[in-house]
Structure 1
Amino acid sequence: MADELRFPTGLGTSDADSISLLGQDLAADLMGRVGFGELAFWLVAGRRPHAGEVRLFEAVLVALADHGFTPTAIAARLTYLSAPDSLQGALAAGLLGGGSRFLGVTEDCGRFLAATLAESSGDDVDAIALDAVTRARAEKRFVPGLGHPVHKVEDPRTPVLIRIATEEGLYGPHLRLFEAIGRVHPQVLQRRLPLNGAGVCGAALADLGLPVEMLRGFALLARAAGLLGQIAEERRRPIANEIYLTVDRNAVYEA
């Protein structure tokens, strides 16, 4: 019976003498020859990216790695304070906070753009964008990727990622639609909001052909590096206990 069991995989296998990954010999063909970003892309997309794709993809990862004392970073530091024997728990605590307000916008924006493009007809991207923003406003939904709590005029990551995509010939329909949303949304919202970095990351990843259902995973992959850095700094210059005591000493009971 055991001989009849089969569990197919196109990823990794190993035997007593070798490890194979993506059909390559891990030790001979990949280690020292393939960067981690390139490998992450390859693992998900099932194809090896070319150099321009790697450049844009890794720029996205850098853009999402760390933004200072965000809730995800604070959660990781406080968990490490509580359980310094559980580095994995501190990392997990930070990653679990990746949702619709932090990190998840990357996927939300990619999904929104992909769905809008799938439903649209015609070539007038500004008209498509205007219709999408108008419908979202009528349905009382936020347009993901619009606005930022800190960068009120321009998110510094946005023009850089658009420039890299353009330089590498990877400026595609999702980025084009996202920029159109940036142009037309004041007509509907009566105010101008910046296109945020998380949103442009989602658009860029979608233009790379990566599944929009997986985009949050790339945001979490990037943030894992940032959280590891936060925990390393917490070891060198601890602040988590001060955060905890500040909240605890200022707690006020209200029935």
Structure 2
Amino acid sequence: MADRELTAPEPGGPGPSFPTSIGTSDADRIRLLGQDLAADLIGKVGFGELAFWLVAGRRPSPAQVRVFEAVLVALADHGFTPTAIAARVTYQSAPEALQGALAAGLLGGGSRFLGVTEDSGRFLAETLGELTREPTDDAGWDEVALAAVTRARAERRLVPGLGHPVHKVRDPRTPVLIALAEREGQRGPHLRLFEAIGRVHPRVLGRTLPLNGAGVCGAALADLGLPPELLRGFALLARAAGLLGHLAEERRTGLGMEIYRTVDRNARYVPPDPA
């Protein structure tokens, strides 16, 4: 969409217009997604359903909500990741600015942590976009997956969603989310292609890697019809809850200060290499 050019209103004429389908408010009411927030949504719509609705512009079905919220749960926390450590240490540095600590953790969501959700969704969507028709059985999906992995290898690109720094054999989230999507009738082409990549990649890479949770989340979200370009946002939405939990614990334990002291007390000076 082209940038909207705003001009000063003519004297006595109507003012500038800023159209939105999200929400507006006046002295008496708040409108959100075409609904009356107080009368139609509060107490009647869950946060996961609302988050989906806000982005997709359509109200999800109950089955879609169950899969979507399962993905949010799967991505909420993964222990002392760099994002959690960043949030904790920042909180110890500036405890008066909770938003800064939360933001510090969210800013770490990238190609190695959390961003894989979007990277996988994009990779799968791009591969599917090149098909004239979708396969009808596992053999057909394996053929598509083999070509995609082979091309990525030839181009020296990583296949997103493969491998995990902790779960070396199987990510426990992956089979649960795939089974849930199947049960809810939401196991679509992105998940089927992702599963096929799991089956065929050893033939190309020469080793077997697990399909990681972030990758299966990206595939599941894409099958729900959510834009691949926004999938990282959902990972960050989920991780915000986990980070807030870390910060609540940080108030009780002060581990961030211990992390800082451990690193500081074990720092070893190394003379710089001569120019």
Q: TM-score, normalised by structure 1?
A: 0.98
Structure 1 stretches lacking a partner, 5+ long: none
RMSD over aligned CA atoms reads 0.9
Q: Secondary structure at the match of 1:233?
A: helix
1:229 aligns with 245
Q: In the alignment, which of 190, 207, 219 is matched to residue 203 of structure 1?
A: 219
Q: TM-score, normalised by structure 2?
A: 0.91
| Pairing 1:240–2:251 present | no
Larger helix share, 1 or 2: 1
* Letter of the structure 1 residue corresponding to residue 127 of structure 2: T
Q: How far is the alpha carbon of 1:237 from its aligned partner? A: 1.3
How many angstroms apart in 1 are the aligned matches of 2:53 and 2:178?
A: 22
Q: Secondary structure at the match of 1:193?
A: coil
How many angstroms apart in 2 are the aligned matches of 1:252 and 1:185?
A: 42
How many angstroms apart in 2 are the aligned matches of 1:78 and 1:25?
A: 41
Q: How far is the alpha carbon of 1:17 from its aligned partner? A: 0.6
Post-superposition CA distance 1:89-137 (Å, at most 9, x none): 0000000000000000000000000001111345221111001101111
Q: Secondary structure at the match of 2:126?
A: helix
Q: How many residues align?
A: 255
How many angstroms apart in 1 are the aligned matches of 2:72 and 2:130?
A: 29
1:115 aligns with 126
* Letter of the structure 1 residue corresponding to residue 92 of structure 2: L
Percent identity for Structure 1 against Structure 2? 77
Q: Secondary structure at the match of 1:4?
A: coil
How many angstroms apart in 2 are the aligned matches of 1:83 and 1:228?
A: 15
Q: Which has the larger radius of gyration?
A: 2
2:53 aligns with 42
What are the within-5 Å matches in structure 2 for residues 141-152 of structure 1?
141-152=157-168
1:21 aligns with 32
Structure 2 stretches lacking a partner, 5+ long: 1-8
* Letter of the structure 2 residue corresponding to residue 10 of structure 1: S
* Letter of the structure 1 residue corresponding to residue 214 of structure 2: A
2:193 aligns with 177
2:72 aligns with 61
2:210 aligns with 194
Bigger shift: residues 199-208 or 117-126: 117-126
How many angstroms apart in 2 are the aligned matches of 1:8 and 1:183?
A: 47
Q: In the alignment, which of 18, 37, 50 is matched to residue 7 of structure 1?
A: 18
